[in-house]
Amino acid sequence: TNVSRLFEADCCGKTVVAAGENGVIVVSNDYGSTFGPAPTSPVTGSITALYVHDENSWDIGTATGEYWCTRDGGSTWQQTNYGAPLTNILDICYANTEVGMIVGTGGLYTTFTGGELNTWSSDESARIPQSITSNLVKCHWPCCGNMTCQVNNVLLAGFTGVTGQLFVGQPS
């Protein structure tokens, strides 16, 4: 596979998926020792966000704000409507199989049903400073080793002007 620029990579178990410009998606099922193209890609533009749930289930976001998911290792894809469009999806993260988050230029969207069936909603939480929600670039649930993720313990990184900010949600 001729890959000029990869923007995102994620893994789960022995499956590693990387994606980038021109809709390129490459997959390894041997911990990254060898890679090959995904069976299909739903887009031709830049893939800017990626989350790997397991060997067959992956979610991608694009520079134009599209959100796609596959549940069969990239053979078929379903576009998901998460609400008012973001102009650029920058990150996708999940705390578990049900609770997830999309961040991008213009906002933050959350799901409590695994992102299926267009169940995303914009987060109106007063706990997250507005200065960060309008300029988010990354989200992450810190679940190291065999620890269970605390749904309310999320890391969000963003910026205001040239100043970076980090918000750490605490379990309630």
Q: Look at residue 24 and give its three-state secondary structure.
A: coil
At 99 the pLDDT is 83
On the question of pLDDT at 172 being above 50, the answer is no
On the question of pLDDT at 8 being above 80, the answer is yes
Cα separation of 117 and 55, whole Å?
A: 21
pLDDT tens digits along 84-98: 677 889 899 888 888
Of 41, 49, 7, nearest in space to 24 by CA = 41
Tokens of 97: 């199989």
pLDDT tens digits along 133-144: 556 677 766 665
What mean pLDDT comes out for the span 26-34?
93
At 171 the pLDDT is 41
Tokens of 59: 């979610």
